[in-house]
Amino acid sequence: MTPWIDAHNHLHQIAGSEAVTDLAGLARPVLCVVNGTRESDWQEVVDFVGLHPGMRMAFGWHPWFLHEQTQGWETRLREILLRFPEASLGEIGVDAWKQGTPNLKEQRTVLRTQLRLAADLDRPVTVHGLKAWQALLEILIETQPGPPATLVHAFGGPVEMVPHLVRLNGWVSFNPYFLHSRKSAQLATFDAVPLERLLIETDAPSMGPPVELAEWTLPGGRTGHPANVALAYRAMATRRGIPEVEFVEIIAGNFARCFGQARDSQAGSSPSIISSSAPAASNPNTPVT
Ligand SMILES: [Zn+2]
């Protein structure tokens, strides 16, 4: 059965939790791209995907954690990507929202380095641009020819930017967070994304739909539960006026073009084997992104 694809999340941060095993009970399997955010969590991504064959790994330096970088980080990022030829680069990007992040100049330098590495290794990237969408676009333009594909995760920038992102080999992923009534402008922006460049994500355990729409919640009531991927699919299929069964196939095709089937060393294995018998990993309270 064609899976629901969660093109961007951080499930390693809730490895071993009920929220992950809940995925096994859904009507479809769920295939995720599990994104590391800094060198200290890359092994957790490897361990998580090791328990859930068919999931995809992504490694990178998220702008929130650049203060943790130590000398030689570029080499070590290259090494882990070479070790896992099926992995993409993410989560990387720029951020002008979170207090305490380094200035944009420093963020740009690190992002450029990561984009060049992705281009060099022919890997797709997943980028974050919270409150810094213009800067992100400028960097993507500056670094052309860039990576083979760029997933702009939880895009909240202006609608005018969408065609530029598409021209830069961009895909845009919808997060059910944009179903908040105060996010109606950003929701409308997704109507401008060409259907063949649309993906679906949860960013779990971060972000999440408004509580009144959430079908699943994490302990404490947060809505960044990965099973809300089903709700995100339904919302976008309805908005596009496409039967959900057909929409699932379209998104699966988009995902294959963006992230590449040929790169997946596990191609041919069935996607998303979330098994309730999987042993629990031990990294409960990592910060979310
Ligand atoms: Zn994220």
Distance 207 CA to ligand 1 centre (A): 8
Distance 189 CA to ligand 1 centre (A): 20
Residue 58 · residue 42 · CB < 8 Å: no
Q: Taking Cα atoms as reference points, which of 149, 203, 147 lies closest to residue 174? A: 203
Helices (H) and strands (E) in the chain, counts: 9, 8
Distance 35 CA to ligand 1 centre (A): 7
Distance 145 CA to ligand 1 centre (A): 25
What is each CA distance from 5 to 199, 244, 250, in whole angstroms? 8, 13, 11
What integer pLDDT is reported at residue 238 of this predicted model? Answer: 97
What integer pLDDT is reported at residue 101 of this predicted model? Answer: 85
Distance 256 CA to ligand 1 centre (A): 20
Residues with Cβ–ion distance below 5 A, ligand 1 = 91, 203, 289
Q: What is the pLDDT of residues 11-40, one digit of tens each?
A: 999 999 999 999 999 999 999 999 999 999
What integer pLDDT is reported at residue 100 of this predicted model? Answer: 83
Local confidence band at 261 (pLDDT 50, 70, 90 cut-offs): low
Residue 280 · residue 47 · CB < 8 Å: no
Q: Taking Cα atoms as reference points, which of 214, 154, 215, 206 lies closest to residue 183? A: 154
Cβ contacts of 106 within 8 Å, gap of 6 or more: 66
Distance 177 CA to ligand 1 centre (A): 12
Distance 251 CA to ligand 1 centre (A): 19
Distance 227 CA to ligand 1 centre (A): 16
Neighbours of 195 (CB within 10 A): 12
Q: How far apart are CA 280 and CA 206, in angstroms?
A: 20
Helix (H) / strand (E) element for 6: namely: strand 4-9
What integer pLDDT is reported at residue 271 of this predicted model? Answer: 38
DSSP letters, 119-167, are HHHT--EEEE-TT-HHHHHHHHHHT-S--S-EEEET--S-GGGHHHHHH
Helix axes 73-83, 39-51, angle to 10 degrees: 10
Q: How far apart are CA 118 and CA 107, in angstroms?
A: 17
Distance 37 CA to ligand 1 centre (A): 8
Residue 10 has pLDDT above 60, yes or no: yes
Q: How far apart are CA 12 and CA 35, in angstroms?
A: 8
Distance 246 CA to ligand 1 centre (A): 27
Distance 237 CA to ligand 1 centre (A): 23
DSSP letters, 155-180, are --S-GGGHHHHHHTTEEEEE-GGGGS
* All domains in the chain, ordered by first residue: 9-259 (3.20.20.140)
Distance 90 CA to ligand 1 centre (A): 8
For residues 222-242, average pLDDT = 98
Neighbours of 243 (CB within 10 A): 11
Local confidence band at 156 (pLDDT 50, 70, 90 cut-offs): very high
Distance 9 CA to ligand 1 centre (A): 6
Rg from Cα positions in the chain: 17
Say which residue the tokens 């709700």 belong to. 231
Local confidence band at 278 (pLDDT 50, 70, 90 cut-offs): very low
Q: What is the pLDDT of residues 80-117, one digit of tens each?
A: 999 999 999 999 999 999 988 889 999 999 999 999 99
Distance 21 CA to ligand 1 centre (A): 20
What integer pLDDT is reported at residue 270 of this predicted model? Answer: 39
Predicted structure pTM score = 0.89
Q: How far apart are CA 196 and CA 11, in angstroms?
A: 26
Distance 59 CA to ligand 1 centre (A): 12
Say which residue the tokens 């992950």 belong to. 20
